[in-house]
Amino acid sequence: MPLTLVSSDRFADHLMPPGHPERVARAHVMQAVTAKWSARGVPVRAPRPAIRDELLRVHAPAYLDLIAGTAGRAVKLDPDTFTSPDTAEVAALAAGASIVAVDAVLDGAGDPAVAEGEIRPDLFSAVVPVRPPGHHAEAARAMGFCIYNNVAIAAAHALARGLTRVAIVDYDVHHGNGTQWTFYGDRRVLFVSTHQFPFYPGTGSAGEAGSAGAEGFTVNVPIEAGATAGDYTHVFDRVIVPVLQAFEPELLLVSAGFDAHMNDPLAGMRLSVEGFNGLARRLRDVALAARCPAVFVTEGGYHLKVLGACLDGLVRVLLDDRSSASAVAPDAVPVPVSGGSPDAEPLTPDDLPLAEYATVEPTHRGPAAVDLVRAIQTRYWPGL
C-alpha cells in the first residue's frame, strides 16, 4: 500500500510531570521512526492544527474554551492528565494530523500515478505518530492522558466529506471510551475495540453495543488479562475481520496503541512486536479487500523500545516490506533515554535490549472473549 507519514517535532512540546508514563521521550521515538522511513523515501507530511469547527464535531464548546484557557500554563485536568504551556497548541496539532492523514488517503496522497490510472486511490494508507493520545477524551472531558479525541475527529471529518461507512478499530489495551460515546448512536461509524477487561477506564463490556437505532455498530471485545498473540489472532479472525467485511467500510481508522505488549508497564497482556504486526497485516488485508484506505493513529504504548519496534513494524507491514523474516529488528530504531527535555529521567527498562518471551498459542482467554461477543452481536452480525 502506498504510505504517507504525518509527523511533527512539535509533539515533543507537550510536557508531563517527572515520572509520568506519557513522557516526551515517546515523541523522540516517534521522530526516530519517522526519520528512518523518510530517509528511505516514505513521504512525510506536516500536520496543521485542527480548527475550532473541526474540533466542535466531537467536543463541546465549553470544553474547547477550557483547553484554550490552559495556554501558557501547567494545569491538572484529572488525576493523570496534565497540560503544559504548549499543550493546547500541540493537542490541536495532533487532532489536525489525523485530519491531514484522512485527506491524504482519500485524495490519493496527491500521487500523479493516481491521475494516470496506475494506482488505485483506495489503496493509500497513513501512519500518524502523535501525542497526546486521544481515544479516552470525551466530548467535555479530558482523561487517560488524552486532550482531544484524534481518531474521533478524523472520523467526523471523513463523515463531513460525505463518507457514510467509517470503521474504527481500537487495539489499545485500554477501552476507547471517548471514541465509543462519540458515535454510540451513529450507524455510519462502526467502532470495534479489543481491550483488557476489567480495567481502566471501566467501560467496554460486551453488552455496550450501541444505542437505539445503532445497535451492533459498537462491538466491544473485552479480554481477560494475560492474553497472548494467539488469543488476539483468534479474536481478530473470528470477530473483528468478519464484522469489518460485513460492514464494507469506505475508510478504516485504527487507534494503534501498543500497550498490550508483554513489557508495557501499564497493563497485563502478553502480545509481542510480531503479534502487533500480525494484527496490522489483518487490518491491511481487510482494507485492501474492501478497497478502502486505512489510517493508523497512535494511542498508548509506554515502553520506549517496544513503541519504536511496533511503529517500525507497522510501517513495514503497510509497505508490505518482507525484507526480514521477523518484520522488525527490535533495536533498529534508536531510543533516546536521557536529555533533551525538562522531564528526562533514568529509564533503565528502556535502556535494556528488548527481550520477548512470546507464545503464539491461544489460552482460554481468546475463545472466551469470542463466545461472549457472539452472544451479544450475532443478532446484528449473523456471519459471526
- 301-330 pLDDT, tens digit per residue, is 999 999 999 999 999 999 986 554 344 444
Give the percent of the chain with pLDDT over 90.
Answer: 84
* Straight-line distance from the first to the last Cα atom of the chain, in angstroms, rounded to the nearest whole number: 28
Q: What is the pLDDT of residue 119?
A: 63
- 258-268 pLDDT, tens digit per residue, is 999 999 999 99
Q: Is residue 175 part of a domain?
A: yes
- 119-170 pLDDT, tens digit per residue, is 665 579 999 999 999 999 999 999 999 999 999 999 999 999 999 999 999 9
Is 136 an active-site residue?
yes
Rounded average pLDDT over 337-348 = 40
Q: What is the pLDDT of residue 329?
A: 46
Please compute Rg for the chain using Cα positions. 19
Q: What is the pLDDT of residue 116?
A: 63
Q: Has residue 354 got a pLDDT over 90?
A: no
Give the percent of the chain with pLDDT over 70.
Answer: 87
The dihedral of CA 147, 133, 351, 334: what is its sign? negative
Enclosing domain of residue 325 = 3-377
pTM value? Answer: 0.92
Average pLDDT over the chain reads 91
Q: What is the pLDDT of residue 350?
A: 62
What string of H, E and C letters represents the secondary structure of the chain?
CCEEEECCHHHHHCCCCCCCCCCHHHHHHHHHHHHHHHHCCCCEECCCCCCHHHHHCCCCHHHHHHHHCCCCCCEEEECCEEECCCHHHHHHHHHHHHHHHHHHHHCHHHCHHHHCCCCCHHHCEEEECCCCCCCCCECCECECCECCCHHHHHHHHHHHCCCCCEEEEECCCCCCHHHHHHCCCCCCEEEEEEEECCCCCCCCCCCCCCCCCCCCCEEEEEECCCCEHHHHHHHHHHHHHHHHHHHCCCEEEEEECCCCECCCCCCCCEECHHHHHHHHHHHHHHHHHHCCCEEEEECCCCCHHHHHHHHHHHHHHHHCCCCCCCCCCCCCCCCCCCCCCCCCCCCHHHHCCCCCCCCCCCCCHHHHHHHHHHHHHCCCCCCC
Where is average pLDDT lowest: 62-66, 75-79, 302-306, 355-359? 355-359
Q: Binning pLDDT at 50, 70 and 90, where does residue 296 land?
A: very high
Q: Is residue 383 part of a domain?
A: no
The residue annotated as part of the active site, out of 136, 157, 261, 303, is: 136
Q: Binning pLDDT at 50, 70 and 90, where does residue 114 land?
A: low
Q: 273-290 and 304-319 helices cross at what angle (nearest 10)?
A: 30
Q: What is the pLDDT of residue 355?
A: 74
CATH of residue 93: 3.40.800.20
Q: Is residue 384 part of a domain?
A: no
- How many structural domains are present in the chain? 1
Q: Is residue 382 part of a domain?
A: no
